[in-house]
Amino acid sequence: MRGLHTPVSELRKSVFVEVARIAFESGNVKDDLEALPYKISPTETPKFGNNIYQERAILAERARLAMGLSLRPANVPVHITSGLDQSTVEEIYYEPPLMQVIPSACNACEDNVYEVSNLCRNCLSHNCVEVCPVGAVSMIDGHSHIDQEKCIKCGKCKASCPYDAIGRKVRPCSLSCGVKAIGSDELGRAVIDNTKCLSCGMCMVNCPFGAIADKSQFFQMIRAMKSGDEIVAEIAPAYIGQFGPEATKDKIVAALKQLGFSEVYEVALGADIGAISEARDYVENVIHGDKPFALTSCCPSWAMLAKTFFPEVKDQISLELTPMVATARSIKQKHPDAKVVFIGPCASKKLEAMRRTVRSDVDFVITFEELDAIFTAKGIDPKTVEAKGSLHDATGAGRGYAVAGGVMGAIKKCIEEYYPDETLVCEHYEGLADCKTALLLAKNGKKNGMLIEGMACPGGCVAGAGTLIDVTKAKKEIENMVKQSTRPIPDLDAEKIIEGK
């Protein structure tokens, strides 16, 4: 859970910090990477589990993923540093899959199993026995018992028990996956179906064993910094509050420049561009055109959900550049030789940046969680640095994109201001399960005339897999930032920021 300091969050950060230190300081990357599991867990007493050898095996796999490498096969001897030469270049693009299950860390949780607890009172009615359609429930020694070989997982026994003595055990990663992309291998461990996975990262966030992790790219970013390249940061609006209440906007800018970024821009600038463009598109093509409805495009997992599961509606997805890409293109106009780093809350942005049409715009993607570890590795505290300027690129509308409903709200404000005779009919959905329902209804003609906003993460970008604080707290931070913005909505000519518009 975001906002809680747990052994899982400590484990993740410890690996990120050590990999960042290797990137900044190491004269022998190979040896230091091989030694990383022993540096983090140096004694025979495990820090994060019950078995030191299992712990070091997990640390080794996490180190590989943090370097942008894939997990090692379980049945072939492979060094931790295998493939290192290909990973230590200054430019590397992700090779799917992004989300990966670390077998040695997975607890093989049972999934969709009904089980009787000690709350059973041996009541006279025995509702659970009577309601079971296949005779899987019986009374044994004065206690209800479920025969798992017969059970069809209908849940009627649980619903009928007056003492709530029957529980349903569900694998947390599977429960959090809105597209049912998680199954089990022959040993009962979780496996991800990569034909379904949309890389939102909710399985990673919800696994209490830290058995699911994504690949990182910050090692290559640091290498580019050390080589002397100009590196420019674009930071997503959800950053506010992520590094503590004392880490104000101006302090975060100062911390990023101290880290080595030459300039810092708001991704909300690209959101402003998108809000103007999508407001116009809705008025011209939905209200006065033949487009049945419009789908937002800024969440890559939502867009991929539509393209993968509902290809019939893919033509309704906005063709406007996502805020990440729009901002990056505006940066490259000013800094044509610079490398652009997107810093945000989202795991799936890593794969969006890998697309052939985006590679020339966004060079690296890192999350707030990864940035926090990089700050630690360099001894930089965003809460205490000396403030040296703030961010004033964007409006309140663009900054509001960070929360569910914010895209819809920004477009609505633009229509009310620039198309006062038109009315926006809109809905927003958050979480891939609800997003699937919305797209199914849209495909069947139940959403005609609407603008539909979809966010893969429940709560929006502030709930992304790479965030650090409680979602409710993050939403309040965004609300305050939107209210304090100098300009509420973008100008009509905001699109002209992108060359050729």
Domain assignment of residue 374, yes or no: yes
CA pair distance 456, 316, nearest whole angstrom: 18
Minimum mean pLDDT among 5-9, 199-203, 390-394: which range?
A: 390-394
Q: What is the CA radius of gyration of the chain?
A: 25
CA pair distance 320, 299, nearest whole angstrom: 12
Domain assignment of residue 447, yes or no: yes
Q: How far out from the chain centre does Cα 235 lie? A: 15
H/E element, 145: strand 143-146
CA pair distance 23, 404, nearest whole angstrom: 36
Residue 315 has pLDDT above 90, yes or no: yes
Same domain, 119 and 62: no
Residue with tokens 């610079």, as numbered in its chain: 338
Same domain, 310 and 235: yes
pLDDT band at residue 35 under the 50/70/90 scheme? very high
Per-residue pLDDT reduced to its tens digit, 364-382: 999 999 999 999 999 999 9
Domain assignment of residue 314, yes or no: yes
Into how many domains does the chain fold? 3
- Residue 500's pLDDT is 42
Per-residue pLDDT reduced to its tens digit, 95-115: 778 999 999 999 999 999 999
Same domain, 130 and 261: no
Domain assignment of residue 207, yes or no: no
Backbone phi, psi, residue 353, to 5°:
-70, -20
Average pLDDT value for the chain:
93
CA pair distance 370, 68, nearest whole angstrom: 13
Domain assignment of residue 472, yes or no: yes
All residues at 6 or more sequence positions from 210 whose CB lies less than 8 Å from its CB, including other chains: 7, 8, 11, 12, 58, 105
pLDDT band at residue 501 under the 50/70/90 scheme? very low
Residue 131 has pLDDT above 50, yes or no: yes
The share of the chain scoring above pLDDT 70, in percent, equals 96
The share of the chain scoring above pLDDT 90, in percent, equals 86
Amino acid at 75: N
User: Domain with 123 in it: what CATH number?
Assistant: 3.30.70.20
Same domain, 416 and 297: yes
Within a 10 A sphere around the Cβ of 107, how many other Cβ atoms?
13
250 burial type by CB count under 10 A (0-12 exposed, 13-18 middle, 19+ buried):
middle
97: tokens are 């899959």
Domain assignment of residue 117, yes or no: yes
All residues at 6 or more sequence positions from 67 whose CB lies less than 8 Å from its CB, including other chains: 19, 33, 84, 87, 216, 219
Same domain, 298 and 154: no
CA pair distance 493, 78, nearest whole angstrom: 55
3-state secondary structure of 220: helix
3-state secondary structure of 270: helix
CA pair distance 118, 137, nearest whole angstrom: 15
Same domain, 155 and 41: no
CA pair distance 71, 68, nearest whole angstrom: 10
Residue 146 has pLDDT above 90, yes or no: yes
Same domain, 234 and 340: yes
Strands (E), 289-447: 294-295, 339-344, 364-367, 426-430
Same domain, 147 and 8: no
Same domain, 339 and 292: yes
CA-based nearest residue to 256, from 124, 409, 412, 385: 385
Backbone phi, psi, residue 176, to 5°:
-80, -10
Count of all residues that appear for the chain in the document: 501
Same domain, 10 and 123: no
Same domain, 126 and 58: no
Same domain, 157 and 64: no
pLDDT band at residue 175 under the 50/70/90 scheme? very high
Residue with tokens 């990569």, as numbered in its chain: 194
**DSSP string spanning 42-58?**
-SSS-SSSS-HHHHHHH
Domain assignment of residue 81, yes or no: no
176: tokens are 């959090």
Task: Tell whether pTM > 0.95.
Answer: no
302: tokens are 């939502």
CA-based nearest residue to 346, from 300, 306, 309: 300
3-state secondary structure of 211: coil
Domain assignment of residue 213, yes or no: no
**Which residues constitute the domain of residue 325?**
230-497
